[in-house]
Each structure stands twice: as structure tokens, then as C-alpha cells.
Amino acid sequence: MHDCCIVGGGVIGLSIAWELARRGRTVSVVSCNALRHSASWAAAGIFPAQPQDTLAQLQGTPIERLTQYSDRLHRQWAESLLEETGIDNGFHRCGSLAIATTEETNSDILNSVERWERLQVEHEPISLQDVRELEPALNSGFITDHLRSAYYLPDETQVRPPRHLKALREACLRRGVEIVDDVRVRSFSLNSDRIVSVNVEGQDLARCSMHASEFCIATGAWSEDLLQKLNFNLSTRPWRGQILLHKTAPGLIRHIINIGAGLDYIIPRDDGHLLIGSTIEDVGFDISTTPLSLDRLSTIAGDLLPDLMSREPKGFWAGLRPGSPDGLPTIGRVPVVDNAWLATGHYRSGFHLSAGTAHLIADSMCGISTELQMDFFSAERAGLAESTNLVL
């Protein structure tokens, strides 16, 4: 019996577990599937540039404020995780170049410029010559012939998702969190409008129950099915994203290269790995990679870095982003259940938003007033709640 049980061991579930443990709660995390199959493991780990004045008020729309809140917390988290576990999560302010080589990506960048100006995100228009100086390896004929606009953003940041997850997991274990892998929550036992336990099934089909006082569901793209067991309908759609990995000499590329508004990108890791992403595909719960998409990513990389065309990629993978009907995450109580919380639907920004989400959920589960208003992210916001009675 723990104070809190978190269902789902991706970045959202582990972050909430860590923040609850830091607030003195006893916590368990139950998760099925290998971590490698979670969206979190597959993520690129880009934290788009944010305003840097950490003392200034958070600005903009609710999701923009949540992003800034989370961005500030990640700076502290990187230090705390390193201190608690000795694991460096790769948090690194590497900066980025946003480049447009088509009319469409050029207009995407113009929209971004409006937002950067409104939010006071540091950005600077740069010339072809500047692009060549900042990233000599991008000096291809393609760029020369097609560049329409380019911006430099010094504050774009990255983390390495597998390392961050390893650090979070270790930090949780060191604080006594019980992590139960390879078990699937099949159903809930309820007493009136409270969950008493989650009923889990292991890979060997052995079943047991896990009891707690409070529960949080953080099952990413798989949340819809589970929530239906609580008679709550929340559409959560999986959006597949594929990534291609190359290994080059360290320092070949130093900045994140975003094409247009960053739907396609190249991320350089310190050790020379280059991640080229990504796709957005509506193909259900299919986590496989496809030759067509990998070819498209290879072409993007080859246009900018022709040397890569002749090399075999080192690897590739896919993950399922948890999408929501209005593109916003749901963070708050599960309607009609007294002791259940929900954190899902983070779509393309779950890694970036994980720290803020964890603070909001952990504070509210502990009865502490939250630093940001959560109503905007509540499950009721889009009239999603079904006011049905729970089945005992």
C-alpha cells in the first residue's frame, strides 16, 4: 500500500513519481511494454527556445506559460538529477538555426517570428554567409540555391531522452519509489467514487492488485482504453513519429537545425550522433518504421549534408505521440473519480512539458496550491467528461 500509484512509466509518469517522492509521498509506478516502446524513449529531446528572464512573469497563452514554467524547471532538474544519480541527462543549450528552403517553410518561420517577438524569445535573422559560418558543414549547393530565410536562436536546448529517463528512474528508486515493469493495468477496483486498487496482469498472465490512496494515469497514447474503464471518455490518438540516426565526427554540426517551424530537424549530440526527424503519421498503434518515411528523412539529411547520402544510417526507430482532440495536454483530476488524476495528451511536447506537468500534478495531489492555473488543461475543458455512474 503506497500513498500514490502512477500508471505509466514514460517521462510523464516517472516525472510525477519523482516529484511526489520529493514531497515525501510513498509511490509506486506500474508500466507495461519495454521503455524502448514508449514515446518518451523515442523522443528527439528538443526544448524550443523560450524567454530567458527567469524572474519575469510567465507570458502568453496557457500552453505557452506551461511551456515556460516547464523550461525553467528543467534547468533545475538537470542539476538535481545529476546530483542525486550521477547521470548527466545531456541537458545542453546548444542553440538552433531555423531555415526555410521552400515557400511553405518560409511562411512557417514568419509565424514563428511573430511568436518569438511576442514572447521575447531571442532570435536574429541571418544571411546565407552567416549560416555557412555557424555551420560550415551545411555549405551545400542545395542551401545556396534554395535558402529563403534563416534565423539564429541561441537559447534552444536539448536533452538526451534515454539518459533523462535513466536518470529519472534512478532518482525515483533512490527515493524509494517502487517501479513495477512489464505489468499491464487491466481494470480498477472501486468503492463508491474512489479507486481502491489497480488490477494488473504480468507477461506470464499472473494477476495481482496494487493498492494506494491516490492514483494517477499517465499512459500516453494508450490512455483512452484505460480511462473508459472508469467510464470516462477522452480521445487519445497515437501519432507515429520516426527518427533516423547517423554517426558522424563530433562537432560536425553544433546547432539544432530546424526546417521551417521545426517539424523536420537535425539534432547533433555531443558525441557526433545526428538524429534526423521526424514524421507525423496517423497509423494507429503501429510502432514499426517504414522504408518510405526513412527515405524521406534520408533525403532531408542528404540535401543539407550531402556526405550523409553515401553512408548507412546507424539506426532508426519510431514512437507513438499521445495526441488529444484540441492538441493540448490534459492535466488534472479524472472527473467523477475522487482520488484519480490524469496527465496525458502531450503530443509533440511531452518531454519539454514533463517537468511542469509533474509539478502541477504532484502539488495538487499533495493539496499544495499550484504555481499555474490548471483549469485550462482540465478534462472537462472540452466537455469531454461523461457524467455517468461508476460501475462497481
Ligand X SMILES: Cc1cc2nc3c(=O)[nH]c(=O)nc-3n(C[C@H](O)[C@H](O)[C@H](O)COP(=O)(O)OP(=O)(O)OC[C@H]3O[C@@H](n4cnc5c(N)ncnc54)[C@H](O)[C@@H]3O)c2cc1C
Q: Which residues bind ligand X (CB under 6 A)?
A: 7-13, 30-33, 38-40, 42-46, 184-185, 218-222, 226, 241, 243, 277-278, 319, 321-322, 344, 346-352
Contact predicate 39/246, CB 8 Å: no
- Phi-psi group of 43: left, alpha or beta (phi > 0 → left; psi -120 to 50 → alpha; rest → beta): beta
Closest CB 46 distance from ligand X, rounded Å: 4
Instruction: For residues 279 and 193, give the distance between their C-alpha atoms in angstroms, rounded to a whole number.
Output: 41
Closest CB 219 distance from ligand X, rounded Å: 4
Q: Which is nearer to ligand X, 149 or 279 (CB)?
A: 279
Closest CB 125 distance from ligand X, rounded Å: 24
N- to C-terminal Cα distance for the chain?
21
Closest CB 229 distance from ligand X, rounded Å: 9
Closest CB 257 distance from ligand X, rounded Å: 13
Q: Which is nearer to ligand X, 143 or 244 (CB)?
A: 244
Closest CB 62 distance from ligand X, rounded Å: 17
Instruction: For residues 42 and 373, give the distance between their C-alpha atoms in angstroms, rounded to a whole number.
Output: 30
Cβ atoms within 10 Å, residue 26? 17
Residue by residue, DSSP assigns 341-374 as: EEEE--GGGHHHHHHHHHHHHHHHHTTPPPSS--
- Phi-psi group of 262: left, alpha or beta (phi > 0 → left; psi -120 to 50 → alpha; rest → beta): left
**How many residues does the structure list for the chain?**
392
Closest CB 217 distance from ligand X, rounded Å: 9
Half-sphere exposure of 47 (CA within 13 A, CB side): 31
Instruction: For residues 98 and 117, give the distance between their C-alpha atoms in angstroms, rounded to a whole number.
Output: 15
Q: In this structure, which amino acid lies at residue 18?
A: W
Sheet holding 124-125, edge to edge: 124-125, 149-153, 96-100, 256-259, 264-268, 273-277, 237-247, 315-323
> Residue 13: enclosing H or E segment and its boundaries?
helix 11-22
Closest CB 31 distance from ligand X, rounded Å: 4
